[in-house]
């Protein structure tokens, strides 16, 4: 196999793997969290219908996964500071659903979500420094996390 063809193939594989990684992590978290559709708790105003969450998360996971690929590609190093920050936020993202849905610890989940938001802002800043498109791809995720924090705090307050 020609070396140029092999490199292109390897880059495509890396792109697919890094883009899919957040989907896999989110899916595993959802499986551990249990049936999220059967939650009985009061919700704050402006709560979306339940179907919005899996659609939004799927789109956001794909965007953040592709952003991570762009950063990886441009740095050619999976363990640079930006990617470390990405993996930290991905782990905290994984944890939030379990804390909120599996255990019903709404206040603790809000603390986890605050940490996730801060890590994601840090990741976004790091990504912008390496690849502007990657940074832009993270912005909807940051906005969604702000909205999710509002919903989470609302649930915590309404369900004491």
Query: pLDDT band at residue 76, thresholds of 50, 70 and 90?
Result: low
Q: In this model, does residue 136 exceed pLDDT 90?
A: yes
The CATH number given to 3-33+47-158 is: 1.20.1260.100
Angle at which helix 52-75 crosses helix 81-97, to 10 degrees, equals 160
Q: In this model, does residue 6 exceed pLDDT 90?
A: no
- For the chain, the maximum distance between any two Cα atoms, rounded to a whole number of angstroms, is 63
Query: pLDDT band at residue 1, thresholds of 50, 70 and 90?
Result: low
Return the domain boundaries, the chain: 3-33+47-158
Mean pLDDT of 119-140: 98
Percent of the chain predicted with pLDDT > 90:
84
Q: Got the DSSP string for 7-47?
A: HHHHHHHHHHHHHHHHHHHHHHHHHHH--GGG------TTP
Distance, in Å, from the CA atom of 58 to the CA atom of 47, rounded to the nearest integer, reads: 18
Mean pLDDT of 60-87: 92
pTM: 0.91
Which has more pLDDT, 16 or 77?
16
Query: What are the tens digits of pLDDT across the range 86-115?
Result: 999 999 999 999 999 999 999 999 999 999
């Amino acid at each position: 196999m020609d070396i140029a063809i092999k490199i292109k193939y390897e880059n495509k594989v890396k792109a697919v793997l890094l883009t899919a990684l957040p989907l896999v992590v989110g899916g595993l978290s959802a499986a551990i969290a249990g049936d999220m559709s059967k939650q009985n708790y009061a919700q704050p105003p402006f709560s979306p219908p339940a179907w919005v969450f899996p659609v939004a998360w799927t789109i956001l996971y794909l965007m953040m996964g592709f952003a991570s690929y762009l950063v990886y590609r441009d740095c050619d190093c999976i363990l640079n500071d930006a990617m470390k920050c990405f993996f930290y936020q991905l782990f905290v993202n994984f944890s939030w659903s379990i804390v909120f849905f599996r255990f019903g610890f709404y206040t603790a989940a809000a603390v986890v979500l605050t940490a996730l938001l801060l890590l994601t802002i840090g990741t976004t800043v790091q990504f912008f420094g390496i690849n502007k498109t990657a940074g832009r791809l993270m912005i909807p995720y940051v906005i969604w996390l702000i909205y999710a924090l509002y919903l989470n705090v609302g649930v915590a307050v309404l369900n004491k």
